[in-house]
Structure 1
Amino acid sequence: MPRFAANLSFLYTEHPFLERFAAAAADGFAGVEFLFPYAWAPEALAAPLQAAGLQQVLFNAPPAGSDAASMASAWDRGERGTACLPGREAEFQAGITTALRYAAVLQCPRIHVMAGLVPQAADRAVLHATYVRNLRWAAEQAQQQGCTLLIEPINPRDMPGYFLVHQAQAHAVVAEVGSPHLQVQMDLYHCQVTEGDVASKLRQYLPTGAVGHIQIAGVPERQEPSQGELHYPYLLALVDELGFDGWVGCEYRPRLGAQPGGTQAGLGWRDTPLR
């Protein structure tokens, strides 16, 4: 059975954020992930994490910003990363430096680095060169801390204009950067929406060792994995068979939303026999 991590940006939203750690632990999760921690000091997050006995397995680098306030507000301003954007290298480096500082306090081994939105009339070759150059620099910084960076293809329906869309594109970038401290974050929800044929892609990519983290959600509503067109008992059994020993992040929106007990009420999918 895979190791499941609760995504606290999506789950337990009936609780204030810092109370979600304890709620996840009470429901049997051993690991957690979330999107952006920059509205809190890292020590403020480490306290409930450690009190709940949880492992922080993943979070995102800032999607933009050069200081604490702009990093914390970047997502709400519509920013979706700077890694591929020429002229914003200093901002990208500031974000990676900040993310690594948080990772050290939270003892988190993985950071997702967002690519960014393609500017109108941009030359994609220039964006690609910028992306690879920035990721090489960032992977060198992560290596010094024993941390791994992840890049994630995101479907164009949920995030129109995002630079990194396809699994093959992400794996080609990882190969070009050539660092063991850069891997792919394979979100099966995004993969199904964009490309389909998820089982074949698991068979293609998991044996390479280039996939460092998996995320799941039902398709198309992005609700519990028991909902929708993907048959997760089969896919999760396949993940086991292929020897993946990383974490599987539960990045879905509970069907009951922020109703009290809404996340817990939808966790029955974890007890479904695989296959």
Structure 2
Amino acid sequence: MPRFAANLSMMYTEHDFPDRFAAASADGFDAVEYLFPYAYDATGLRGRLDEHGLRQVLFNAPPGAWDSGERGTAALPGREAETRAGVERALEYAATLGCPRVHLMAGLVRPDATPAQLAEHRDTYLANLAWAAERAAAAGVDILIEPINTRDIPGYFLNRQTEAHTAVQDVGAPNLKVQLDLYHCQIVEGDLTTTLRRDVPTGRVGHLQIAGVPDRNEPDRGELDIRHLFDVVDDLGFDGWIGCEYRPRAGTSEGLGWLDDYRNHRGEHA
């Protein structure tokens, strides 16, 4: 049975961030994810989780200068020390939050990058991933990488599922895995059922995410047949989490009919 985590960076934005934990719990979520925890004390966040019976299942390592448009540094030559310091900081938060997964963002590359420059980006990326995976393994944490569509983040280094799986295989660390966001995948390459059936059984998919396409609203809004996709995930025996990384069209709770419908379809009680 698919398990769903509320993404508190996109959902429940009608509440202040510390109050989103209670709202997610009240709607029947058992787990949460979000982009970054670093504006808050880790102990305080752990208190929110414990108070509301929630598990933290994912957050991102520091992404560089986010407010200035950076989207990670792991594939950026010359930023190795910053990337690795960010991983260390993320692992400190993961230990306090009991979070078993950290997403390490690759970063942006210039559209006119030469093949030699792209090769340097990839070499840097693989070296940083190998280092991060080794450090995280000692803490019992998985490092995740996520292909992101070029419409939402033009220039992002990693865009396709095969590229991500090749990187994971090249590094060869058992705790380096792919974060398969069905929203991004549909925009870039589609064929989601085949992608799930191909990639989930490899054991290299560590986390799934979902949103409606094309507008990133509730997952039942738009072109995806989410009941079918969830049933595929269920049939494949995926035992991880599906992060609900979407922007509700109106109030978050009012837009959760898709989740109630799926739970009723599978005979699950909220």
TM-score (norm 2): 0.95
Q: What CA RMSD, in Å, does the superposition of the two structures yield over aligned residues? A: 1.1
The alpha carbon displacement at 1:121 in A equals 4.1
Q: Which of 74, 77, 81 matches 2:68?
A: 77
Counting matched residue pairs gives 261
Question: In structure 2, how many angstroms separate the alpha carbons of the residues matched to 1:125 and 1:271?
Answer: 46
Residue 46 of structure 1: CA displacement? Answer: 1.1
CA deviations 1:135-175 (Å, max 9, x no partner) are: 00000000010100000000000000000000000000000
- Residues 57-95 of structure 1: per-residue CA shift (max 9 Å, x gap): 00000001xxxxxxxxx2112110010011010000110
Cα distance, 1:231–1:120 mapped onto 2, change above 3 Å: closer
Instruction: Give the whole-Å Cα distance in 1 for the aligned partners of 2:200 and 2:131.
Output: 25
**Equivalent in 64, 72, 82 of residue 91 of structure 1:** 82
* Structure 1 position 29, deviation (Å): 0.1
Q: Which residue of 2 aligns with 1:105?
A: 96
Unmatched 5+ stretches in structure 2: none
Residue in structure 1 matched with residue 136 of structure 2 by the alignment: 142
Q: Tell me, yes or no, if structure 1 residue 132 matches structure 2 residue 126.
A: yes
Q: Secondary structure at the match of 2:208?
A: strand
| Separation in structure 2 between the aligned mates of residue 240 and residue 138 of structure 1, nearest angstrom | 30
Aligned-partner residue type, residue 59 of structure 2 = F
Does residue 41 (structure 1) correspond to residue 41 (structure 2)? The answer is: yes
Q: What stretches of structure 1 of length at least 5 have no aligned partner? A: 65-73, 257-261
CA distance in 1, matches of 2:231, 2:112: 43
Q: Which residue of the other structure, out of 106, 117, 127, is the alignment partner of 2:108?
A: 117
2:192 maps to 198
How far 1:272 moved relative to its partner? Answer: 2.3
Code of the aligned partner of 1:230: L
| Pair 1:269-2:258 in alignment | yes
Amino acid at match of 1:19: D
Corresponding position of 1:170: 164
Partner of 2:54: 54
Deviation digits for residues 220-268 of structure 1 (CA, Å, limit 9, x no counterpart): 0000011000000000000000110100000000011xxxxx0000001
Letter in 1 for 2:107: G
CA distance, structure 1, for counterparts of residue 9 and residue 244 of structure 2: 10
CA distance in 1, matches of 2:5, 2:207: 10
* One-letter amino acid of the structure 2 residue matched with residue 44 of structure 1: G
2:222 to 211, 219, 228: 228
What residue number does 1:156 align with? 150
Structure 1 residue runs of 4+, over 2 Å off? 119-122, 271-275
Deviation at 1:47, TM superposition (A): 1.3
TM-score with structure 1 length normalisation? 0.93
Alignment of 1:24-35 (within 5 A): 24-35=24-35
1:254 to 232, 240, 248: 248
Paired residue for 1:187? 181
